[in-house]
Structure formats: C-alpha cells, structure tokens
Structure 1
Amino acid sequence: MTSSTSTQNSVGRTFIRKAWLPVGLFAIWWILSGIYYSSYFPPLQDILVRTWEIWVVAGGLLTDLWPSILRVAIGFSIALVVGVALGAIFGLMPTVERAFRPLTEAFRAVPGAALLPIALTFFGPDETMKIFLIALASMWPIMLNTIEGVRAIHPTMGKVMETFHLSSFDRFTKVFLPAAAPQVFAGARIAIAISVTVMVVAEMFGTPGGVGYYIRDAQASFRIEEMWTGLIILGIFGYVLNYLFHFMEKRVLKWHHQMVAHTQGASQ
C-alpha cells in the first residue's frame, strides 16, 4: 500500500468517524420528508435548494452572514484582550482578585442574553449594543482560565526570573503568558461558542442585518423554509469557526501538544 493510499484511507476513516451522525440525521430527515409532510419541517431537499438560492445565488452570505462574522470577530477580540489582561492582573495580584471577587462572581452569574434589556437601554439597538454583549458575555471564561493559568506557574520560575533580572514586561510576555496559553485557549474555545450564541440573540432584537435577525424575521413572517436555511447557515458557520480555531490552536500550541505527547509516552 502506497503512502498516498494510506493517507486517503486515513482521511476517509476520519470523515466517517466525525460525520456519521449528522449525515445519518440528514438521511432520516430526507426519507421522512417523503413520507410525512409538515409545514414546520419542510422536505430537506427543498430547504437545501432554498439555502443555495438565498445564501449563495442571491448573495445572502455577504448581506447577512458577513455582518455577523464581523460582530463576532470584533466582540471576541475585545473579550480576548480584556479577559487576558484582567486574568493576568487578578492572577498575579491575589489581593486585588479577592477584593473584586464578589463583583466578578455576580456579573459572571448573569447570562449575556439577560443583559439585553440593559444594553438596549444604554446603547440602543445598533452595532454598539451587539458588540458590547458579545464581548461581555464571552470575556468571563477567558479571564477565569487566564487566572488559573498564571497561578499554575511553578514557584521556582519566580527565582529564575529574579536571577536573570527580567523586567515586568518580559516576565509577562516571555514567562507568564506562554505558560498560561493552554488555559487561555481552553477558555477562548468556550468563549467562541458563547459569542456566537449571544450574537444571534442580540441580532434578533437589534437593527436589521445578520443571521439572527434573518432567522427571527423569517419566523415572524412564517417563511419556514427560509428560517431553516438561516439555521443551516448558522450551523455551518459555527462548525467552520470551531475548525479554524482548532487549527490555529494546534499551530500556536504545537510545543505544548508535543510536550504532553512526550510526557504521556514516557509514562507508558
């Protein structure tokens, strides 16, 4: 067996292992739609045709999906910067963290969607409100994981940094941040899912534009097929976003994965 054939078989097995459940569910839906018709669950083939017509041919990917992508990107970027900064401060200064703990615990316990009325009151239904909600809701897992990552650094590293007379900036960028990176990425993976969820909710009650608004408008107008097309596009968007994040994580944390694999191999 050649290497190319082996690679193709490996890719095929990976695809089957990951895709058998959604493919099976779509197949069941496809079969049942030919037996039983419901206006709430149109035939899958009709939904797929409408998805292609609305989102590709008619340009819905640019007019509705692209604004949602920008909102998630901006909101998540703000959450990442603020979450890492606050997490580093709280992680390196336990006294400050304990002083702010009641406030952070109270805000963290409130779902992002529950803050929608307050955000609408202060910012209105425009872009500021949507980005604010996305950033606020997705910041907490990043901040908490950063705190744990910074505090998990071995105490002897402090003596090493003192020996080499590292500045505060070098300590943060060359020691604390790389050491906490696995925890930061773990929190960021959770934050991405939260940001997409909050984006949909914010768009449903905000100004026109975006996948969330499209889904709600189609449902309110009883355009059931179009509503399902929005849900399919949203699912594809979430899957692609998670895949890209996983791809970037593997590249950035390549050293970490190699170290874990080496440690696991040595312990066996």
Structure 2
Amino acid sequence: MRQGVRAVRAAAVELWLPILMIVLVWVATARSSSFYFPPLQQVAQTFQQMWLFDRIGSDAAPSVRNFLVGLVIATVIGIGAGLVLALRESLYDAALPVFEFMRSVPGIVLVPVFLVLIGVGDGMKVAVIAYGAIWPILLGTIDGVRSLDPLVRDMMRSYHIPIHHRLLRVILPGASPQILAGARISVALGVVLIIASEYVASTHGIGYVQLHAERTFAIPEMWSALILLGILGYTSNIAFRGIERYLLRWYHGLRTAGQGGSAS
C-alpha cells in the first residue's frame, strides 16, 4: 500500500509541470494564426492521424528498431572492450589516445563515412547510433572496473578465483553503477542520433518524416514528428530507470542500510 502511494506521489511530482506546460501552450496557441506556430490542437490532431494510424508501422517502428539494435550493439561492445582495457593496464595506456580521438568525433559527422562504407539502409543508421552511444558505456565500464578496491582484486587472486567468476560475481556487479550511468547517457544520445541517421539517404523513419515536412512546409506534420521524438526519449528514459532500479536494487539497499547505520 505504501509503495503504491509512494509511486503515485512520485508520478504526480514528475508530471505536474509537463501537464501545466501543455495546458499553457494549448491556451496560448488556441487562436494562433502564425504559419510556423499553429494551434496545439491542430498539431495534436495531426499527431493522431500520422502516428497512431498511418505511419506507426512504416516510420515509427523502424526508427525504434534501429535505436534498440544500435543501443544493444553499443552496450555489448562497450562493456566487453571496457573490461579488457580496464583489466590490462598497458593496453589501456596504448589505446587511450586513439579512444580520445575517436570519441571527440561526433557520430553525426560520420554519417557520410558510414554511408560510403555500409551503404544506404538500416545498417548505416544502426552503425551511426551504435558509434555515438558506445563511448559513455565504454568509459563508464573502464571507470567502474578501475575504481574497484585493490584489496578485492588481491583477494580474488590470492584465492585463485576463476576469471569468469571474478567477472560475473565481483567485477561486473561492482562496476555496474558506473556502467549504467554511462548507458543512461547513451540512451539520450541514441534518440538524437535516430534523427541524424535518417536525415541522409533515407526513405522512412521519424527523422525522414520530420525533414520532409520541413522542406515541404508541412508545419503541423513537422511539429508532430518532434513531439513523437520527445515522447520516445521520455519513455526510453522511464524504461531505463526501471531497468536500472531493478539491476541496482542491491546497491540501493546497501546505501539505504549505510545511511540508516550512520544516522543511528
């Protein structure tokens, strides 16, 4: 019962400002005659016609699929490479300049490069999303593994614990707060890169619809695509928060216990 009340209270605290802003914009634009800022009611009607019926399968679903595939690839490669680099000090020192150079190049800039190397299609879009999303996860993994207590590492070596048990039972759980913090940044970057990857040589997707509407001066359609992108980013963040809360339930429990012990 208390958990339900706490969840309702948290939802109310989080949603009251967005709801208030929607109401204010709805009222402020109700009589708008601006070509570039149509009434929010008209945008909402266009959103319903486009994204709840016509384009949900042809444009929204492919964008979400590319986003998820790119994020999974970035997560697997980022955690795997981060573990190897963090556990091999010499390899980390050698690769650091290369990584610093590569992560300073935005994924958006590499769209033409991936277009030439991979070609037109969803593979290019997934590659752009994966490239841009991999760096926070990679650096979070390296930072998390390297921040483990040296005494823990020495104890694992002293007891000759097999490497797979070290990774699964000690290293990955200990580094998971930093890994998930990096993954949270990657989720936000992935949503941005959905649009960037669909601006060039694309025939479908949220970014394509938004760019086509802008070029044809279909302003309500353009705003509806932007609203859909915001909804996608917000729901992705909520879903990731739930996954993070589940995976780090032990960590939050330790923090709560530690705070209770210090208070007493």
Shorter-chain TM-score above 0.5:
yes
Which position in structure 1 is the counterpart of 2:137?
142
Q: Select which of 91, 110, 118 maps to 1:123.
A: 118
Question: Post-superposition shift, 1:7?
Answer: 4.5
In the alignment, the residues of structure 2 paired with residue 177 and residue 265 of structure 1 have an alpha-carbon distance, to the nearest angstrom, of: 26
- Residue 175, structure 1, aligned to residue 170, structure 2: yes
For residues 13 and 169 of structure 1, do their structure 2 counterparts lie closer, same or farther at Cα, with a shift above 3 Å needed? Answer: closer
Q: Select which of 250, 254, 267 maps to 2:262.
A: 267
- Give aligned-pair identity as a percent: 34
- Residue 48, structure 1, aligned to residue 63, structure 2: no
Question: Post-superposition shift, 1:21?
Answer: 2.2
Q: Spell out the pairing of 1:89-128 with structure 2 (5 A cutoff).
A: 89-128=84-123
In the alignment, the residues of structure 2 paired with residue 34 and residue 224 of structure 1 have an alpha-carbon distance, to the nearest angstrom, of: 16
Question: Post-superposition shift, 1:11?
Answer: 4.8
AA aligned opposite 1:25:
M
- Residue 74, structure 1, aligned to residue 54, structure 2: no
| SS of residue matched to 1:134 | helix
Which position in structure 1 is the counterpart of 2:60?
65
Which position in structure 2 is the counterpart of 1:242?
237
Question: Post-superposition shift, 1:187?
Answer: 0.4
Question: Post-superposition shift, 1:267?
Answer: 2.1
| SS of residue matched to 1:265 | helix
Q: Which stretch shows the higher mean deviation, 167-176 or 68-77?
A: 167-176
AA aligned opposite 1:101:
L
In the alignment, the residues of structure 1 paired with residue 98 and residue 160 of structure 2 have an alpha-carbon distance, to the nearest angstrom, of: 36
Long gaps (5+) in structure 2:
none
Q: Select which of 36, 46, 67 maps to 2:32.
A: 36
Question: Post-superposition shift, 1:175?
Answer: 1.4
Which position in structure 1 is the counterpart of 2:160?
165
| SS of residue matched to 2:49 | helix
Which position in structure 1 is the counterpart of 2:207?
212
Q: CA contact under 8 A between 2:206 and 2:229: conserved in structure 1? A: yes
Question: Post-superposition shift, 1:12?
Answer: 4.8
AA aligned opposite 2:40:
L
Root-mean-square deviation (Å): 1.7
Normalised by the length of structure 2, the TM-score is 0.94
Question: Post-superposition shift, 1:48?
Answer: 0.8
In the alignment, the residues of structure 2 paired with residue 11 and residue 255 of structure 1 have an alpha-carbon distance, to the nearest angstrom, of: 20
Q: CA contact under 8 A between 2:66 and 2:125: conserved in structure 1? A: yes
Which position in structure 1 is the counterpart of 2:216?
221
Q: How many residues align?
A: 263
Q: CA contact under 8 A between 1:113 and 1:198: conserved in structure 2? A: yes
Question: Post-superposition shift, 1:190?
Answer: 0.3
Long gaps (5+) in structure 1:
none
Q: CA contact under 8 A between 1:138 and 1:195: conserved in structure 2? A: yes
Q: CA contact under 8 A between 1:119 and 1:129: conserved in structure 2? A: yes
In the alignment, the residues of structure 2 paired with residue 166 and residue 206 of structure 1 have an alpha-carbon distance, to the nearest angstrom, of: 52
Q: Deviations over 1:166-188 (max 9, x none)?
A: 12222112211111111110000
In the alignment, the residues of structure 2 paired with residue 34 and residue 199 of structure 1 have an alpha-carbon distance, to the nearest angstrom, of: 31
In the alignment, the residues of structure 2 paired with residue 145 and residue 17 of structure 1 have an alpha-carbon distance, to the nearest angstrom, of: 30
